[in-house]
Amino acid sequence: MNILITGGTGFIGRTLCPALLSAGHSVTVYSRCRDKVTSILGNEVRPLDALSDLSADDHFDAIINFAGAPIFDRKWTNERKRVLMESRIGTTQQLLEYIIRAKTKPSVLLSGSAIGFYGDQGDTVLDESAVGKDDFGHRLCAAWEDEAGAAEMHGVRVCLLRTGLVIGKNGGFLKPMILPYKLGLGGKLGTGSQWMPWIHIDDYVAICQYLLNNSALEGIFNLTAPHPVTNREFTRTLAKQLNRPAFLSIPSWFLKLILGEMAELLLGSQRVIPKRLMDSNFKFRHATLESALADVL
C-alpha cells in the first residue's frame, strides 16, 4: 500500500512507520518540519510539508490520522482547549478536502481518537456501543470522530481508534514515571480505584495493520488491552516489576489544584474493553499488564 500518515513523528508513529516499511508499504508523513521526518524516521519515508500540496492526481491507498497537539503537556486553559481542538479538527478537515478532490480515493482511513470519549464512568464496563459522558475530553473526541466519519460519504472505509494509555519503550505516559518509581516515590493517584485502559505499543501497531488489511472492519474500535486495571493495581504491578515500594498517594484535591480540569485525565475512570477486536478474533500479544510491563522494562 501507499500510505499517508499525519502525526507520524510522534510516539506511536515512530514505531508504526518502520513496521509498515518492513511490511513492504510506502510511507509518506505529513509534518510542518521536513527535517524532523527524515531525522526520526529515515530516508525511506517521504516527508510532506503541507496537505494542501496534494493534487487530485496524488493517490494513497490508505490514510492514518494521528495529528494533534499533545493532550497532557500543559493546563487546559480556554486557549489550550482551542489549540487541542483545532489541531485535530483542522488537520482532519484538510485530509477530507484532499479526499474530496482526489481522482482515486483511498480505500481506508484510520483516524485517531481516545478512550476519553467515554468520560468518567466509574466501574461501568464500556465497549464500543457505550454512550459518552459529557466533558471536554468527550467533546474533543466526538468532534474529531465526526470530522473523520465524513469520509464515508466519499466511499472511504473509516476506522475510529479510541486509544487507551499506550505502553512502550522510550516514550508514552510510562516514561516520566520510571525514575520516581525507581526512587521509591511511586504511588496511587487519588483513591486509586479509577480504571486505566492500557495497550502495549506492539499490539497497537499490529491492530493498525490488521485494520488496514481487513476490508470487512469499519467503525469504532477500542484500542485497549482486554484486561484494564485500576490505578491501584497499575501502581502495584509497576512497583513489583521495578522491585521497589510504592506506598505514596497523591490526593485528588492536590491533582485538581495543580492541574485544574486536566486532572480528570488522571482521576477519571474508564473501564474499557476492546469488544469489537475480540469479536473479530484479533490476538493480543500482551493481554495482561504484567506481560506488557515485563517486555518494556
Contacts of residue 295, defined as CB under 8 A and 6 or more positions apart, other chains included, come to 200, 202, 286
What residues are paired with 162 via a beta bridge? 113, 222
Select the more confidently predicted residue: 173 or 282: 282
Over residues 138-147, the mean pLDDT reads 96
Is residue 176 predicted with pLDDT exceeding 90?
Answer: no
Q: Which domains does the chain show, CATH number per domain?
A: 2-173+198-227+271-286 (3.40.50.720)
Query: For residue 119, what is its C-alpha cell?
Result: 468520560
Over residues 34-52, the mean pLDDT reads 91
Question: Rounded CA gap, 114 and 232, in Å?
Answer: 22
Q: How many CB atoms lie within 10 A of CB 192?
A: 17
* First and final C-alpha spacing in the chain: 33
Quick: pLDDT tens for 220-255: 999 999 999 999 999 999 999 999 988 888 888 888
Is residue 71 predicted with pLDDT exceeding 90?
Answer: no
Average pLDDT, the chain: 93
Q: What's the whole-model pTM score?
A: 0.94
Contacts of residue 59, defined as CB under 8 A and 6 or more positions apart, other chains included, come to 2, 102, 103, 104, 106
Interaxial angle between packed helices 289-296 and 231-242, expressed in degrees from 0 to 180 and rounded to the nearest 10: 40
Whether the Cβ atoms of residue 117 and residue 71 lie closer than 8 Å to each other: no
Question: Rounded CA gap, 223 and 59, in Å?
Answer: 28
Whether the Cβ atoms of residue 44 and residue 21 lie closer than 8 Å to each other: yes
Helices (H), the chain: 13-22, 34-41, 78-101, 136-149, 175-182, 201-213, 231-242, 252-259, 264-267, 275-279, 289-296
Q: How many CB atoms lie within 10 A of CB 185?
A: 14
Is residue 2 predicted with pLDDT exceeding 90?
Answer: yes
Quick: pLDDT tens for 268-292: 899 999 999 999 999 999 999 999 9
Res. 32 pLDDT band, cuts 50 70 90: confident
Over residues 258-268, the mean pLDDT reads 83
Question: Rounded CA gap, 235 and 229, in Å?
Answer: 10
Q: How many CB atoms lie within 10 A of CB 221?
A: 24
Among the ranges given (28-32, 169-173, 222-226, 293-297), the one the predictor scored with the smallest mean pLDDT: 169-173
Quick: pLDDT tens for 3-17: 999 999 999 999 999
